[in-house]
Amino acid sequence: MAHELWGENQPATAVMTVRTHIYHLRKWFAAVPVAEECKPQIASQPYGYRLEISEEHVDATEFRLRCAYGSKMLDAGRVDAAAETFGQALALWRGPVLADVRHGAVIEQLASELGGLRERAIEQRLEADLDRGRHRDVVEELRLLVAAQPFNEWRHAQLIRALHASGRRVEALGAYQSLRTLLNRELGVEPSGDVQRLRTEILRGVA
């Protein structure tokens, strides 16, 4: 635990500081106004401490379960249920994961994993929304996501798809051209075959 908090620069008082933090955490947990069986506990171990809490009271566990169920619904073609489930999962988020916690190696790995799962949940929820015809509703969100990750071709493709399905064919082709210009200028490559086929289908009026 001390290594996670201070890395290689542990102060001489590291052990005592950790014990003080644990003492205050135990007092805080004891004062939480919930049923006794629902309160988290901190158990002492030979080489540290373990937080004991029911999994159903951990947002990260609930998030993973909802994402897994949403993926199952999406694979089964139940797009309404999938979109609703992913929406519920994403509603558990209130900002960047562990934003107010000092990041050691263990926490950094957990934060990265949960952040990746959130990105995937957003994309799957958008996929479900597009499959149920909500193209106009997701255009602006897709623009923001493309701006956040300009080299993510999947997001570009969904934006192109949503624009075209919304009757904005010229904008859809413009979005394709913007992606092509970016990839040519920065990486010296063309869009993927799937994105190129999407453009061809739009030009033919079949997408």
Provide the residue range defining the domain that includes 146: 135-207
195 φ/ψ sector (left φ>0, alpha ψ -120 to 50, else beta): alpha
Same domain, 80 and 115: yes
Please write the tens of the pLDDT for every residue from 168-207.
999 999 999 999 999 999 999 999 999 999 999 999 986 5
Helix, strand, coil percent content, the chain, rounded in steps of 5:
70, 5, 25
Question: What kind and span of H or E run contains 90?
Answer: helix 79-90
Cα dihedral 79, 129, 118, 116, rounded to 10, equals 90
Q: Look up tokens 């499959």; give the residue.
A: 131
Which of these, 122, 114, 111, 116, lies nearest to 71 by C-alpha position? 122
Whether residues 67 and 83 share a domain: the answer is: yes
Residues 12-63 pLDDT 10s: 888 888 889 899 999 988 888 877 777 788 888 887 888 888 777 788 999 9
Quote the number of domains for the chain.
3
| Cβ atoms 189, 183 nearer than 8 A | yes
Report how far residue 152's alpha carbon sits from residue 16's, in angstroms, rounded to the nearest whole number.
47
pTM of the predicted model as reported, rounded to 2 decimal places: 0.80
* CATH at residue 150: 1.25.40.10
Residues 18, 38 within the same domain: yes
Query: To 10 degrees, what angle do helices 153-165 and 135-148 make?
Result: 150
